[in-house]
Amino acid sequence: MTFHHTTLDNGLEVVAEINPDVHSVAFGFYVKAGSRDETPELAGVSHFLEHMAFKGTERFSGEDVNRIFDELGADNNAATGEESTVYYAATLSEYLPQAFEIQSSILYPTLRQDDFDMEKKVILEEIGMYADQPSSVAYDNVMQTHFAGHPLSHSVLGTTQTVGALTSDQMRKYHRDNYLAGNIVLAVTGQTEWDTVLELAHRHCDAWPKGKTDRKVMPAHPKPSVRYIHKDQCQQEQIIQLAPAPAGNDSLRFAAELLSVIVGDDCNSRLYWELLDPGLVESAEMVYYDYEDTGAYLTFLNGPPDETHANLARITKIYEQVNARGVTADELVQAQNKVCSRIVLRGERPMGRLNGLGGNWLLRREYRTIADEVSIVRGITLADIRKLLDQFPLGQMTTVGVGPLLN
């Protein structure tokens, strides 16, 4: 595999990992515009705009977009998060030009009023659907509470009030302000030629508007908080907890990823053996999230309401033990084996390599081969885990529960 990088005159960055030993190609446009970049009155506009991208452009109708991708047999979609919006596709290598033409086009949709009005109803229905899912309610509320005063507290979907009040003119302005070439990374992985990538990028992206925006980067200052949202129709209690962890540019993030596997993986972790294997809960996990300026350990618990507090106490005990004693050498090696296997298995597909390539370059301007990633994971030591725990001990700072419990 060979890595290539260039920047077009308008500021669009293009990165590619060319692999002649596969038969497909994946590519994505990574836009540095997510919920954290929205003002409170525009909450949900990034996600709404992602939907509107598939409603058609000056050259292709929404029906054209769906039909052509289907005719190519391509796997295409988009996703909006706190820090980016990504438009991606994977296809057989011979169909890259056609898929690229469509996918690059939809980043600049027509945003017709009729389409806007129709899709607003779809978004409001989606918000309502997620409001009926306890885990989604818990996640939105724990993010709003833990990151209060920080842009990461903004809901990706927005609310019925903000989306309901949003106008097409507001969306057009948000699009003009944020969909600038300097805010976008084009990432390509798989079977193609670098010259082909450059030719397609110049042909379809040279006319994109120049410029970039400055993201507001700031530390988070969470305060301890516990909140239970009563929903008596639920049969189980869903708990989500957050605690501070390394930011996305902190070298300790690699140790945090391994620690989350040791403590909270969905199989053979400390939470698994303490809570899942004995049948005390339906699910219990701890994962690590890294953002541009901060990070979080996220603990998830789902189980019988009357056992919730006892199970939270069990988790507290596990965290206290890990904070005090660290982890064992055997646990570290096992976690390294797991993570390295996941890296390699995922990396054998162009689509599996895409997010690492595009996401890393968008937020860190960093490229790592599969071998680099494996080497980093293998190089984490018990001393690194100890340093991590000293600076970012496991915890349950912010707790939100959704279900039958009142408190």
- Distance CA(253)–CA(244), nearest Å, equals 12
Q: Running DSSP on this structure, what letter comes out for residue 181?
A: G
Q: How far is CA 250 from the centre of its chain?
A: 18
β-pair type (237-245, 398-403): antiparallel
Torsion, CA 257, CA 260, CA 261, CA 264, rounded to 10: -160
Q: Are 50 and 109 in contact (CB under 8 A)?
A: no
SS3 268: coil
3-class DSSP state for residue 274? helix
Q: Cβ distance 292 to 299 under 8 Å?
A: no
**CA atoms of 33 and 86, how far apart (whole Å):** 9
CA atoms of 226 and 221, how far apart (whole Å): 16
Please identify which of the residues 17, 38, 50, 331 carries the catalytic annotation: 50
What are the φ/ψ torsions at residue 21 (nearest 5 degrees)?
A: -95, 10
160, 78, 154: which is closest to 126 by C-alpha? 160
CB 103 within 8 A of CB 52: no
Is residue 50 annotated as part of the catalytic site, yes or no?
A: yes
DSSP 3-state of 296: strand
Beta strands in 8-74 (DSSP E): 13-18, 24-31
CA atoms within 13 A on the CB side of 321: 13
Secondary structure (3-state) at 187: strand
Active site residues: 50
